[in-house]
Amino acid sequence: MKTRLCVLILTLQTLPFARSQMLFPGDGSTEPGFVPPIVGKPPPPPPAHISSAETYIPYPPPPVVPQARSEKKKPPKPPVLFTKLTSPYGPLDWATRPNDLNNLLKSLKEMINVHFTLEVKSLDEVDVDPDRNPILYRSGHFHFSFTPPQRERLRRYLLNGGMLVLNTGMGSKPFYDSAIRELTAIFPESPVRRLGPDHPIFHSYYDLSRVQYRSGVRKYGYTLDEPWFDGVTIQCRTVAIVSRWGMEIGWDAVDDDSLLGYSIESARQLGVNIMSYAIAQRAWAKNLSQAIRLVDAVSDASSANRMRLAQIEYDGEWKTRHAGLSLLLHQFNLKTDIPVKFDRLEMRLTDSRLFDCPVVYMAGHEDFRLNEEEAGALRDYLKRGGLLFAEACCGRKGFDAAFQREMRRVLPGVPLLPLPVSHPIFSIPNAIASVGITPALAAQLGTAATEPRLFAMELDGHLVVIYSPFGLAGGWELSQSPYAFGYDDASAIKIGENILLYAITQ
């Protein structure tokens, strides 16, 4: 690593960049939105670790084998937090701000008194065990791409609990576009989406629903105060983020308000939040139960009277927990002896099979919108006796606000009202008067237990929509996220069982 840093220092000292210069064919330097890099100062040499009070040899003179107390000491090395990814095109591609992570780590020490260090590696050198390199960091201005083996390596690393941070250097759009494209290729089943302002990464340490931008961002045309991270979320954990605007110039304390990036203070606070979120989520991911999808071997022909459940797909983050619903059906079967079909369906609201399912399930984290055809199909389904069971996974406000808005479109004039604890849905098969909640929700409400909270919409004396604003699916998998505003495992299972029994007996 020392050799690599020395080469980096010497190379950067000779790397001015002209807009007419091309780093490699197709690097994006001629495209709209490209921002040429401004090469920063190289990182300083590591400290010698010599105490000023120990630079002399006291009387009497030393023994025959001198042991000078002025020797350089080797204190324990702080743990590695960040691994900075290199590029085959040289440091102009990946390290124009060579001191960005060094300065961020100094800020972490000053702001929250934690001490970490960093490494510099190529992606091929990265261990797929996140304990060895918890957060991978790549910053740049140009287009970039990974090879298929590198994408597979990154996928394994991220699913194992690691985190990838892609920082758009000074807001240069070619790098941003490449970051979105690469994450889409790595996780085709989980589209990259803008993270809402209520995402835990913006609240894991500092409350950053709003941030400060430099004037250059405003001149570029972005007028909102919300932080702009795109990300890939798997099992309620965001495994990779892309910062649309430059954080590195804030970490490096570049005093130029015309640049496309966050203010120095906001950039540093975002860095602290990324660290806090990544560490908490990695610890949780290591203990995440490997829930098994229960597949019913009974054929469709012999299971006509068995209960079936469909999960609704929509244009948004619709599949937040991959096994929760199957595990709930299994628990429901054990509790009630009512046959259930484990190979649940996943379908759009416009699917003709919708009307074959007495209950459909819907969940999410972020804002979403149904198109007119989908809203009309759901309206027809509910008026014909179907039941929609929905939850804001992890208790996320983005989905909660969107769900309430969309239900007003689907059933205009029908209110979404809280169900009293005296409602039969809280009685069978489990008597539920009080529920346990997750630590995050307990801190918000100021209590470790509360009454169950469900909302419903009613048509002709029957509930057609049952909605939980608090997270359930994480409890069904026995692994609520540390940031979840939801019910604890036992309470989530009881509530889910009661809703299912109500659905098939009404």
Give me the mean pLDDT over the 263-271 stretch: 97
Task: Report yes or no: 240 and 231 within 8 Å, Cβ to Cβ.
Answer: yes
Q: Which residue has the higher pLDDT, 54 or 127?
A: 127
DSSP state of 431: -
Q: Which of 42-51, 207-216, 263-272 has the lowest mean pLDDT?
A: 42-51
Place of tokens 């690097």: 27
Bridge-based pairing of strands 309-313 and 229-234 is unpaired
Per-residue pLDDT at 289: 43
Confidence label for 61 from pLDDT (cuts 50, 70 and 90) = very low
Per-residue pLDDT at 8: 46
Structural domains of the chain, ranges and CATH numbers in brackets: 2-42+76-287 (3.40.50.12140), 300-505 (3.40.50.12140)
Q: Is the bond preceding 469 in cis, omega lying within 30 degrees of 0?
A: no
Q: What is the tens place of the pLDDT at every residue in 179-204?
A: 999 999 999 999 899 999 999 999 99
Q: What does the angle CA 405 – CA 406 – CA 407 come to, to the nearest 5 degrees?
A: 95
Q: What is the CA radius of gyration of the chain?
A: 27
Q: How many CA atoms lie within 13 A of 172 on its CB side?
A: 30
Distance CA 330, CA 74 (A): 56
pLDDT for residue 133 is more than 90: yes
* Average pLDDT of the residues of the chain: 87
Q: What is the tens place of the pLDDT at every residue in 309-338?
A: 899 999 999 999 888 888 898 888 888 887
Task: Report yes or no: 336 and 372 within 8 Å, Cβ to Cβ.
Answer: no
Q: What is the tens place of the pLDDT at every residue in 421-466?
A: 999 999 999 999 999 999 999 999 999 899 999 999 999 999 999 9
Q: What is the tens place of the pLDDT at every residue in 249-266?
A: 999 999 999 999 999 999
Confidence label for 54 from pLDDT (cuts 50, 70 and 90) = very low
Strands of 117-121's sheet in order across: 117-121, 80-85, 135-140, 163-168, 237-243, 229-234, 193-194
CB neighbours (10 Å) of residue 153? 18
Q: What is the tens place of the pLDDT at every residue in 289-302?
A: 444 445 444 444 44
Distance CA 391, CA 318 (A): 11
* The token pair that represents 414 in the structure block: 């029908």
Per-residue pLDDT at 100: 96
113 class by beta-carbon count within 10 Å (0-12 exposed, 13-18 middle, 19+ buried)? exposed
Distance CA 153, CA 170 (A): 28
Concatenated DSSP letters of 162-195 = -EEEEEEGGG-HHHHHHHHHHHHHH-TTS--EEP
Distance CA 166, CA 139 (A): 6
**Beta carbons within 8 Å of 5's beta carbon, 6+ residues apart:** 43, 120
What pTM value is reported for the model? 0.83
One-letter amino acid identity for 58? P
Distance CA 95, CA 88 (A): 12
